[in-house]
Amino acid sequence: MADGTDIGTRQRTAEAADDAELALVDRWWRAANYLSVGQIYLRANPLLRRPLSAADTKARLLGHWGTTPGLNFVYSHLNRVIRRDGQKMLFVAGPGHGGPAVVANAWLEGTYSEIYSNVGNDEDGLAELFRQFSYPGGIPSHAAPETPGSINEGGELGYSLAHAYGTVFDNPELVTAVVIGDGEAETGPLAASWHSHNFLDPAADGAVLPILHLNGYKIANPTILARMPEAQLEQLLRGYGHEPHFVTVTDPQDTATAHRDFAAALDACLAEIRAIQGARRVGGLDGDAATAAWPMIVLRSPKGWTGPKTVDGLQVEGTWRSHQVPLAGVNTNPEHLAMLGRWLESYQPDELFDGEGRLRTDVAANAPAGELRMSATPHANGGILLRDLKLPRYEDHAVEMDRPGRDRVSAMLTLGSWLRDVIALNPETFRLFGPDETASNRLQDVYEVTDKVWQYRIDDVDEHLARAGRVMEVLSEHLCQGWLEGYLLTGRHGVFNCYEAFIHIVDSMFNQHAKWLKVHRELPWRRPVASLNYLLSSHVWQQDHNGFSHQDPGFIDHAVNKKAEVIRVYLPPDANTLLSVMEHCLRSRDYVNIVVSGKQPSPTWLNPAEAAHHCQRGLGIWEFAGSEVPGEEPDVVLACAGDVPTVETVAAAELLKEGAPGLKIRVVNVVDLMRLQDAAEHPHGLTSRDFDGIFTTDKPVIFAYHGYPSLIHRLAYRRTNQEGLHVRGYKEEGTTTTPFDMAMLNGIDRYQLAIDAIDRVPGMAERHSLLRQSLQDRRIRAHNHTRVHGEDAKEISGWTLSLE
């Protein structure tokens, strides 16, 4: 065993585990391995009471064995220190495809049977435990929401370490042990996650114990870190700011040495964690002392450890061949079936389970008690710990107005003052996450009550950096997402603010969280957690100093593919509606809320009370902006969703009222995008009757939308007036230019919207050809003005709504 620390020092500082304790750990490990193999292969005869037959095995063999014994090994040892120290601990399985391990340990601890009464703690329960795994109508092969103690979905690798750090922020008594697979360690999100300790405050936060599990192989190839020379790997991990403890299993048969070495490393790591935390909590150390190296373990063990050594003359243990199902032919190959029987018997199940199939008392003794069991910790079922936020009255931050459209304010700046008070009222349960963009997105008022947390050197020129803070800024959207997910799933609240175009970086992470919530909501034992709130700004329509690279509103399209029960999308048109929407989002549970708002000054359309009512409806007719006659159908509907499209729509209605008196115009603003769906498809959807009452059944609807036009057609595809719906939106045009030029390049400007109405209302084109030509001329002049002066004309940038 090589070690990044002096072995003698570690042995002196760590409490040595005695032989009896390690024998107990070994029995638990054997039991967990037995249950794991059984889950992959068996559907009957769980304790081999009779000779194993092909009929006892599953027709379809699914699962991942290779990483599983390593996960079981670590879990067994963590239980020892939990029992000894009463340590609150959470287990995150980075190789979550090692689902058999986490399920097996949950059953051994008794938690599984407590939650799922049909999977009892006897032989019948074992049979059901085995049968259900990767079986139709059963449970997934990955660590999943169905798995007690799990917060990390193993279907996609790379997020475990970020999740782990999210769990310990504001959790000073918690240690989260995270097993990182060496394949997972090759992903970008995981590589960035090694920096997370720089955002950990030892005085107020818990600790993460990373356990890098090097078993050498991915599905079919060796892994980079496993092949890296150990001296180089040690330099890499030390460079990241960790103190690595290396544990190497040189002889797979010598499990006693492996247990002793790992126990010593684990004890040393926990002692070092306590020392770092104690120094900050007692002494309040600052400066270089704040960057003390956090301990971690590097465990080298054979892939598929304790499984078949060779199969059909080929090496399996210690190679990529053990990654999934080492014995693939148990249904048809008698030799494979016999090998499976010998493999299962090698764990000596009679020593582990009694005559009724219950775990023997001397094995069960390795389980911690009650909520100290990692499968039963409330930190893995965060809704148990969740407490409502104390929210300030948003009306106290709202913009007062005497008429719509005259006062221009930054919606995001207004929201910043409200979020400042949210942070002040919730100093231990709310955090704001973002990739270096908090001030850029105009939320800088939060710095009046908090700083950005930072543990490395702080220079005199730096602003708003401190050892403790509620703002988490790192230029990695992956880390922001991962930290926030871990924070939410352990019972806290937060907001992820980001430039709209770059939230796509976490598309896949969003997918996994949305899927997790979908299943989580169906499990009665999992309590609701705070919603994941995306606040997207610096959006596509206002890119005065950025270009084409910063223009992409498509995250909404991506999000609405997920289950309707989970997804909510809001496009508040002004500061007051943004406040109302965000208050709702921070009170909500088990959703993904996407809120898009511009940061530049924009008209205020509704007073605080009107804004709240409008947001409750989700959409509504703006009588002040239209010209329809009560009791009569409109001639045209001008609809909008998004702050810039709203400005252009209201301005287009004004142009039509001036140029075509008598035209009956209805202006509809949509703040809750999901209202456009049918009520049968989304909980927020409108019934056909309500939709037709607002958008009519046969009148032209000119819809100016914030994003890609096809989404509106997709959401409204079953509506009566689908043929009358004409949508304008972003069509991949524009670069660094003025806001109005962006609108013109993509066809959502006021002149084009008014022309669209003229073209689509029967008889308008013939009666108002001069108006149409005038609108075209004004559009050309506005375009030319930007090219000559580099800014929008004052009649555009200074426009306010006239109510005369």
Closest CA to 308 of 31, 37, 23: 37
According to DSSP, residue 543 is labeled -
Residue range 7-378, CATH number: 3.40.50.970
As a whole number of angstroms, the longest Cα–Cα distance in the chain is 97
Do 702 and 636 form a contact (C-beta atoms < 8 A)? Answer: yes
pLDDT of residue 292: 84
Identity of the residue numbered 541 = W
Cα 146 from chain centre: 18
Neighbours of 242 (CB within 10 A): 21
Residue range 620-797, CATH number: 3.40.50.920
pLDDT of residue 290: 57
- Tokens 């070994």 found at: 26
Do 57 and 343 form a contact (C-beta atoms < 8 A)? Answer: no
- Cα pseudo-dihedral 480, 482, 487, 491, rounded to 10: 140
pLDDT of residue 17: 65
Closest CA to 333 of 40, 52, 54, 45: 54
Q: Which two tokens stand for residue 184?
A: 């997972």
According to DSSP, residue 573 is labeled S
Q: Which residues contact 421 (CB under 8 A, 6 or more apart)?
A: 392, 397, 449
Q: In which order are the strands placed within the sheet that holds 619-621?
A: 619-621, 665-670, 636-641, 701-705, 725-728
Beta strand pairing call for 408-410 and 601-603: antiparallel
Q: Which two tokens stand for residue 281?
A: 């909590």
pLDDT digits (tens, 9 = 90+) for 147-197: 999 998 877 889 999 999 999 999 999 999 999 999 999 999 999 999 999
DSSP assignment of 39-83 equals: HHHBSS-TT-SS---GGGB-SS-----TTHHHHHHHHHHHHHHHH
Do 431 and 470 form a contact (C-beta atoms < 8 A)? Answer: yes
638: helix, strand or coil: strand
What is the C-alpha separation between 793 and 783, in angstroms, rounded? 9
Q: Which residues contact 207 (CB under 8 A, 6 or more apart)?
A: 168, 174, 175, 176, 200, 273, 276, 277, 294
Identity of the residue numbered 136 = P
pLDDT of residue 740: 92
pLDDT digits (tens, 9 = 90+) for 6-24: 444 444 433 456 899 999 9
What is the C-alpha separation between 439 and 435, in angstroms, rounded? 11
What is the C-alpha separation between 342 and 121, in angstroms, rounded? 24
What is the C-alpha separation between 40 and 141, in angstroms, rounded? 9
293-295-298 Cα angle (round to 5): 125
What is the C-alpha separation between 443 and 393, in angstroms, rounded? 18
pLDDT of residue 10: 43
3-state secondary structure string across 535-588: EEECCCCCCCCCCHHHCCCCHHHHHCCCCCCCEEEECCCCHHHHHHHHHHHHHC
DSSP assignment of 461-497 equals: T--SEESS-SEEE-S-HHHHHHHHHHHHHTT-EEEEE
Count H helices and E strands in the chain, helices first. 28, 22
Do 379 and 409 form a contact (C-beta atoms < 8 A)? Answer: no
Which residues of the chain are modeled with pLDDT < 50?
A: 1-3, 5-15, 287-289
What is the C-alpha separation between 380 and 572, in angstroms, rounded? 34
Report CA-CA distances (Å) from 578 to 266, 296, 413, 592, 678.
Answer: 49, 44, 11, 16, 25
Domain boundaries, the chain: 7-378, 394-602, 620-797
**Helix or strand (DSSP H, E) at 177:** strand 174-181
According to DSSP, residue 139 is labeled B
Closest CA to 472 of 441, 505, 497, 502: 497
Q: Which two tokens stand for residue 387?
A: 């407490």
What is the C-alpha separation between 486 and 471, in angstroms, rounded? 16
Closest CA to 351 of 19, 29, 31: 31
Task: Identify the sign of the CA torsion 382, 385, 388, 389.
Answer: negative
pLDDT digits (tens, 9 = 90+) for 433-484: 999 889 999 999 999 999 999 999 999 999 999 999 999 999 999 999 999 9
Closest CA to 148 of 107, 96, 89, 178: 107
What is the C-alpha separation between 697 and 688, in angstroms, rounded? 10
pLDDT of residue 543: 66
92: helix, strand or coil: strand
Domains 394-602 and 620-797 are alike in CATH topology: yes
Closest CA to 264 of 10, 5, 91, 8: 10
Residue range 394-602, CATH number: 3.40.50.970
What is the C-alpha separation between 337 and 339, in angstroms, rounded? 5
Identity of the residue numbered 8 = G
Closest CA to 688 of 699, 675, 707: 675
**Counting Cβ atoms within 10 Å, is residue 228 exposed (0-12), middle (13-18) or buried (19+)?**
middle
Closest CA to 525 of 101, 86, 150: 150
Provide the residue count of the chain: 804
Do 704 and 746 form a contact (C-beta atoms < 8 A)? Answer: no
332: helix, strand or coil: coil
Q: Which residues of 710-734 are buried (b: 16+ CB within 10 A; e: fewer)?
A: ebbbebbeebebeebbbbbbbeeeb
What is the C-alpha separation between 497 and 126, in angstroms, rounded? 46
DSSP assignment of 712-737 equals: HHHHTTTSTTGGGEEEE---S---S-
Segments in 660-804 forming alpha helices (H):
688-695, 710-715, 739-745, 750-760, 764-767, 769-789, 794-797
Q: Which two tokens stand for residue 773?
A: 């030509």
- Tokens 């003359």 found at: 313
Q: CA gyration radius for the chain? A: 30
What is the C-alpha separation between 481 and 485, in angstroms, rounded? 6
353: helix, strand or coil: strand
What is the C-alpha separation between 697 and 692, in angstroms, rounded? 5
pLDDT of residue 285: 54
Identity of the residue numbered 193 = S
